[in-house]
Structure 1
Amino acid sequence: MTEATTKELLLEVDDLHVSFPTKRGEVQAVRGVSFSLYKGETLAIVGESGCGKSVTAQSLMRLVSTPPKSGSIRYKGEELTTKTEKQMQKLRGLEMGMIFQDPMTSLNPVITVGEQIREGLLRHQKMSKDEATKEAIEMLRLVGIADPDKRMKQYPHQFSGGMRQRLMIAMALVCKPDILIADEPTTALDVTIQAQIIELFQEIQRKTGVAIIIITHDLGVVAQIADRICVMYAGKIAETGTSYEVFKEHRHPYTEGILKSVPRMDGNRDVPLIPVPGTPPNLMNPPVGCPFYMRCDYAMKVCKEVAPPRTDCNESHYVHCWLQDERAPSIKQLHS
């Protein structure tokens, strides 16, 4: 995060809870998530599948089937959880844009690319069709699509996977929103295209100052693009810090576990890959204490019985783990 971005707070999420009713019971998908986002920064939300990352992201724009059960989402000081659907429709696309996981299922196969990109401009910016067309062509050019005039008349199936992802980025950014939410934007893309998409995010952020929330389980992507990282587990934030703090000075055993399960890029083949043992808890009946208790090598009795409080390591780094309590035994294995 640059010096200019440390001042302007765009988004505050405080104690957010989101649940889904099912025939078997209530799924507590998001359980007390809190974080903030500043202008021009990139915040990554990482964790295993099913940990609540996507539900958290979609809840910010009120795209989930049920509204938040409790908690607060404030955008530029305005509370979003109390806004009507009509009010949210004015905000989506104009103030906050979103890129979904699978671009092919997010694009309409029977409408030209040009029409789909123009739609947001015609809806929010009150442009003429000719003005919207010129703006859409410039946006396609910005995201690196060659011959944009010709491409505007084509359909999504005529684009490769990487090009379709660029189209989604163009559609999300065409109205120049302050916040871009990218849900697994590099999934199913080969490593070369992944690198191009990451570079594109960085270039667009430099040019527009947009703040980015990236949802992913790919720590390689996170290491390249994130200013700050939230590590999620079982619907909760386990640890939050700058990219350096989470990678090099992490305090939560779950963060340690997911880092150990990723191949190293320093060429040290003597370091084995160690997967996190076990499976995440059932969120229809979540644990009373620490949700990582059953999978943690350092679990104590208190971890099973009482949810860990937040411990602030410094102004940017905090963790929910009983190991940070002054009464807990010293754990020297972390970071080794």
Structure 2
Amino acid sequence: MEKVLEVKDLHVSFKTYGGEVKAVRGVSFDLHKGETLAIVGESGCGKSVTSQSIMGLIPEPPGKITGGQILFKQRDLTRLKEAELRKIRGADISMIFQDPMTALNPTIAIGEQIMEGILQHKSISRAEAKKKTIEMLNLVGIPSPQSRLKQYPHQFSGGMRQRIVIAMALVCEPDVLIADEPTTALDVTIQAQILELFKDIQNKTGVSIILITHDLGVVAQVADRIAVMYAGKVVEAGTRREIFYNPQHPYTKGLLNSVPRLDLDGAELVPIPGSPPDLFAPPVGCPFAARCKYAMEVCDRVYPSKTHMSNEHNVDCWLQDERAQNMLAMMGR
């Protein structure tokens, strides 16, 4: 499959009064044309910082991309000037932020807000921009779009506002859409509608989607591949089926065990004990070792090498190392 985006060994830090926070520590992944890649993990694991790095939205100072590459159409986005990034941002790569109310200007009609993006990036007339806006509102399921162009954000429900934000992100027909926790502020029924909308839009436009979320229930419905992040690193990555039915990292298993299951009557949620490590001084070994019931002496001392379970599935865990597997086989486990 054609690669639309490649993130290679990305490092992002933030300078604070307390020291340097190493928020992203060597993240790598690919995004293919027409697929949905979900990046999952707890709050503070670095997933939103990764997405903001792709968009060129890391505030400098205090933030800084200290290493790695973000390749889009053979161009390294980390080396582009702000003026060059502005041409790409919104036109080729768009982002949907967490809260639709903060993404929309309450003092400007929604038609004007959507048209602003088209007029900035496309050489078309206002009449053509208006026509495109109506088409996009229709695509995302806003009823009677022409009559609602002059309405303001407060005149729409939360679910409708999220649809408008999606329309804004897609109006310039980007190659990549980044959705950062797009269903967090919505109730369950609206969440399902928005996720169905993502799949429908992807089928119609072929856009590649990066879905940032902590909710594995969301991931199960829409993701083709999943990258599990912990303490600034991707600790496991694979297809949706591999991650859900054959998870290998103890953290991934912990996330899955903490999701409510309707198919298991009376099943209890199992929380992951402990807290994530302090990223002012990240551990030299596996960052999950302090919370892992399977941790070995080597886990604290050396970061595990990547083990390839299949062509698409890899994990950073000493338990999957060939030497550990041989030892477990000798012990009859």
Instruction: Specify the alignment match of 1:298 in structure 2.
Output: 294
Deviation at 1:67, TM superposition (A): 3.6
Secondary structure of the residue aligned to 1:19 is strand
**Equivalences for residues 3-82 of structure 1 within 5 A:** 6=1, 8-65=2-59, 66-82=63-79
Secondary structure of the residue aligned to 1:328 is helix
Q: Percent identity?
A: 64
Deviation at 1:272, TM superposition (A): 2.1
Give the residue type in structure 1 aligned to 2:267: V
Deviation at 1:278, TM superposition (A): 0.5
Unaligned regions of 5+ residues in structure 1, if any?
Answer: 1-5
Unaligned regions of 5+ residues in structure 2, if any?
Answer: none
Instruction: Specify the alignment match of 1:251 in structure 2.
Output: 248
Instruction: Specify the alignment match of 1:307 in structure 2.
Output: 303
Alpha-carbon displacement from aligned partner over 1:97-120 (angstroms, at most 9, x marks no partner): 100001101111111101110011
**Equivalences for residues 92-103 of structure 1 within 5 A:** 92-103=89-100
Deviation at 1:331, TM superposition (A): 6.9
Deviation at 1:271, TM superposition (A): 3.0
Q: Does 1:238 align with 2:235?
A: yes
Please say if residues 52 and 232 of structure 1, whose CA atoms lie closer than 8 Å, have aligned partners that are also in contact: yes
Q: Does 1:323 align with 2:306?
A: no
Give the residue type in structure 1 aligned to 2:123: K
How far apart in 1 are the matches of 2:101 and 2:231?
A: 29
TM-score, normalising length: structure 1: 0.95
Give the residue type in structure 2 aligned to 1:68: I
Instruction: Specify the alignment match of 2:257 in structure 1.
Output: 260
**Equivalences for residues 55-204 of structure 1 within 5 A:** 55-65=49-59, 66-204=63-201
Secondary structure of the residue aligned to 1:164 is helix
How far apart in 1 are the matches of 2:318 and 2:207?
A: 36
Please say if residues 10 and 67 of structure 2, whose CA atoms lie closer than 8 Å, have aligned partners that are also in contact: yes
Deviation at 1:150, TM superposition (A): 1.6
Alpha-carbon displacement from aligned partner over 1:173-222 (angstroms, at most 9, x marks no partner): 00000000000000021111000000000000000000000000111110
Going from structure 1 to structure 2, the CA distance change for 1:169 and 1:331 (only over 3 Å counts) comes to farther
Instruction: Specify the alignment match of 1:278 in structure 2.
Output: 274
Please say if residues 114 and 152 of structure 1, whose CA atoms lie closer than 8 Å, have aligned partners that are also in contact: yes
Give the residue type in structure 2 aligned to 1:289: G
Secondary structure of the residue aligned to 1:165 is helix
